[in-house]
Structure 1
Amino acid sequence: MANILVVEDEVLISELIRRNLSLVGHGCDPAFDGDEALEKLSGGRYDLMILDVMLPKRDGFAVMGEAEGLPTIFLTARDGLNERITGFSLGADDYIVKPFEMLELLARVEAVLRRTQKHAGTFELDQARVDFGSRQVYRGDALLELVWGYDFEGESRTVDVHIQKLRRKLGWEERIKTVYKLGYRLEAHG
């Protein structure tokens, strides 16, 4: 999943965002002011930045000006037209006004990542390979499951049943976790 820098000076909001992004499988680093954000950007590799405008030391617009093409979602209480235009003119991919709904933020993060990531790639764990581009899972070169690759108008628990079968077939009972009201996540460590 993506490595995301969350630049938010309000500790509780930062923690809430980071916990929810982690629940869906993203790695998150916090920064609580503009200077710390630039320091982390210079020393780390990020796929996306969630950025507040009103920050101590250096505001979000100044940070964005030095972020060099990093996909960015502004998340701020500043809702004026001039601020939004400034954000987009600096290259922001999205602009969300506080207060915000967490599920909407998660959906917008996924949308920006889909648009900006160069290649879907693959992920390997234990003896299984997940091909994100084709949405196929292999174990030892054998196709295990194509989710939604067929016409079926059955119960709404169809995905749950398939995930249960995947858990058993891959031996990932402790790796594929259910995320309440969101879906599933794969835990690669632990």
Structure 2
Amino acid sequence: MKILIVEDDEMIADVISRGLSRAGYQCLCAYDGLEAAGLLEEHRYDLILLDIMLPGADGYELMRYIKDFGIPVIFITARTRLEDKVKGFRLGADDYITKPFELAELTVRVEAVLRRYHKLQDKISAAGVEVDTLSRTVRKNGRPVELTAKEYELLLLFLRNRNIALYRDRIYEEVWEGEFDPDSRTVDIHVQRLKKKAGLEDSIVSVRGVGYRLEAPET
């Protein structure tokens, strides 16, 4: 799932991007309306998170342009007036979130909009492992697998990035939400535990000088 975040406050954009990346989404940021319009011409997105007060072209102007692409939009803005919300919905927005907000709420709303458009995968599988993201259950060849919260998030990261080499620092930052310490063995220990519990000893491989990769045929 690819999400375009259109937000002129780089700190807020980065917080949103990091949070949704940890949830398994691929995020790209644009910091003004004209930049976002250009990115829409170059790439296809599953969802757009759109601020209203933007340089170049504001969110309302950009919303009229987005309608031609048929991409769902969630407004994220400091504008709390009823008339602003009404205008946003009349322009075609699928949801409207006011700042400040909690990442947990944003993630749930993103999931709701994507599910409404039948874009969200409730079940993800590879290498004999199936994850049901609604019930947060894991099965290996039909048998239940008990994982800790971090092991579950680590498995989702691998499944959503199958056949892609993941650097240890990216794994740590997305699963543990902190700055990576090169001397830490946290990532390696959890990967080994996950491989054993989920029967992925032959599927999750080490990539020298990088980290790990889940090798599995694309389905």
Using the size of structure 1 for normalisation, the TM-score is 0.71
Q: 1:130 to 1:44 in 2, by over 3 A?
A: farther
1:72 is matched with: 73
Please give the per-residue CA displacement for 1:89-115, whole angstroms capped at 9, x wherever unaligned: 111111011111121111111111111
Query: Root-mean-square deviation (CA), in Å?
Result: 3.4
TM-fit CA distance, 1:170: 3.0
Q: What does the per-residue CA deviation read over 1:41-93, in whole Å, with 9 as the maximum and x for residues that have no partner?
A: 11111111100000001001111111132111100011111111111011111
Q: CA deviation at 1:160?
A: 3.3
**SS of residue in 2 equivalent to 1:28:** strand
- Residues of 2 paired with 1:167 and 1:62: CA distance? 52
Q: Quick check: 1:128–1:137 contact (8 Å CA) kept in 2? A: no
Taking structure 2 as the reference length, the TM-score comes to 0.62
Partner residue of 2:199? 170
What is aligned with 1:182? Answer: none
- Report the more deviating stretch, 11-20 or 62-71: 62-71
Q: Which residue of 2 aligns with 1:7?
A: 6
Number of matched pairs: 163
Residue identity in the other structure for 1:27: Q
**Any idea what SS the aligned residue of 1:87 has?**
helix
Counterpart in 1 of 2:88?
A: 87
More helix by share: 2
Per the alignment, do residues 62 and 119 of structure 1 end up closer, same or farther by CA in structure 2, a change over 3 Å counting?
same
Deviations 1:94-148 (A, max 9, x none): 10111111211111111111111257486454x2354769988676xx3233x8x
